[in-house]
Amino acid sequence: MLTVKDRFIPREEISNLLWGMVGDISTHSLSMWIKSKTDDEFVVVPREFCILMVLFLERQAVAKEHLLFNFQKVLGQLEEIKRYL
């Protein structure tokens, strides 16, 4: 499984975000900010989207079991992702 390394954003950048916004910070603005501060390595998407995507991939894996080299490994990886969510 792919290991995701932590990224660190300097406190000054977070302070600039907080004091540079007028009013509340939307989830969209926050997600775009995180994306820009991590050189597009991290994006923020709704949890429900991730859940639906994993369910879709599970159904595809079952439907195409005969085409997969290691069907059980694929299902195991999807289970790992579900535990993370």
Output the pLDDT for position 61. 85
Domain ranges, residue 53:
47-84
Output the pLDDT for position 35. 93
Q: Do 40 and 58 belong together in one domain? A: no
Tell me if 63 is assigned to some domain.
Answer: yes
Specify the higher pLDDT residue, 11 or 63: 11
Distance of CA 24 to the CA centre of its chain: 23
Tell me if 2 is assigned to some domain.
Answer: no
Tell me if 16 is assigned to some domain.
Answer: yes
Output the pLDDT for position 2. 64
pTM of the prediction?
Answer: 0.63
Q: Do 37 and 57 belong together in one domain? A: no
Q: Do 32 and 60 belong together in one domain? A: no
Task: Give which of 53, 61, 50 is closest to 85, Cα–Cα.
Answer: 50
Q: Mean pLDDT across the stretch 72-81?
A: 86
Reading the block at residue 5, the tokens are: 């390394």
How do residues 1-45 score in pLDDT, each as one tens digit?
Answer: 567 778 889 999 999 888 888 888 888 989 999 999 999 988 889
Q: Which amino acid is at 8?
A: F
Structural domains in the chain (count): 2
Tell me if 1 is assigned to some domain.
Answer: no
Q: Do 57 and 35 belong together in one domain? A: no
